[in-house]
Chain A
Amino acid sequence: GAVVSQHPSWVICKSGTSVKIECRSLDFQATTMFWYRQFPKQSLMLMATSNEGSKATYEQGVEKDKFLINHASLTLSTLTVTSAHPEDSSFYICSAKWGGRLDGQFFGPGTRLTVL
């Protein structure tokens, strides 16, 4: 079956630094990937839609200059949290669009970001 991986699974960084999170579709090509953020005991909030070879589409209220998304290949999308602050600490989850799934997406295992 289709598998989506994320790297790293967790990361701790200092305030003001940038962190890059990778999302890979391991055995299928994904022209579209999605990035979500989840704060403790809250729901998953869609941040942006990442399209291979074009600019990402951000949801209302998400700062595109702070959360840089690059989808350079059909199997890799990256999310870079720039100048991270403690309020950016969250669980970041990606998903890849796949027509073989009823709900149309396969979710990665998530990346836990802690900003000190």
Chain B
Amino acid sequence: GQSLEQPSEVTAVEGAIVQINCTYQTSGFYGLSWYQQHDGGAPTFLSYNALDGLEETGRFSSFLSRSDSYGYLLLQELQMKDSASYFCAVRGGDDKIIFGKGTRLHILP
């Protein structure tokens, strides 16, 4: 079976840094993705890690440790528009993407 664990909610202050962790158990693994979803919208792709290490894209960074089956999404210089749900997802060998349950990020002014 496959499972992904991430916190259900995280609260942070505008301008701060927040880290959302994700651990996974999968039968096949090609990479870990992160998606952002605002209420009422479809998920939008943020980042993808296939190899160990840190990937940086602007204010967002994503990290993967395959040996620990662990990854995280780091959001810097938080803005109010970053309030959304964030999903980690695993891409398996059959090209399927399995999503975690999502982390609701609340940002306080």
Give residues in A with beta carbon < 8 Å to B.
32, 34, 42-46, 49, 93, 95, 97, 101-105, 107-110, 112
Residues of B within 8 A of A46 (CB): 96-99
Given A32-B95, A103-B97, A104-B95, do A43 and B102 touch, yes or no (CB 8 Å)? yes
A93 to B97 Cα, complex, angstroms:
13
Instruction: List 19 other contacts, CB 8 Å, given A103-B89, A104-B97.
Output: A34-B96, A34-B97, A43-B101, A44-B43, A44-B87, A45-B99, A46-B98, A46-B99, A95-B97, A97-B95, A101-B45, A102-B33, A103-B91, A104-B30, A104-B91, A105-B95, A107-B44, A109-B42, A110-B42
Q: Is the CB of A43 within 8 A of B45?
A: no
A106 to B78 Cα, complex, angstroms:
26
Report how many A-B pairs have Cβ atoms within 8 Å.
52
The answer to the question of B71 belonging to the interface, with a C-beta cut-off of 8 Å to chain A, is: no
- Nearest Cβ on chain A to B3's Cβ, whole angstroms: 11
A108 to B87 Cα, complex, angstroms:
16
Q: Is the CB of B101 within 8 A of A42?
A: yes
Residues of B within 8 A of A43 (CB): 87, 99-102
Given A44-B87, A110-B41, do A103 and B98 touch, yes or no (CB 8 Å)? no
Choose among A32, A42, A101, A107 the residue that contacts B42 (Cβ–Cβ < 8 A): A107
Offer 5 A-B interface pairs, CB within 8 angstroms, sorted by A.
A34-B97, A46-B96, A102-B33, A103-B33, A103-B97
Residues of B within 8 A of A45 (CB): 99
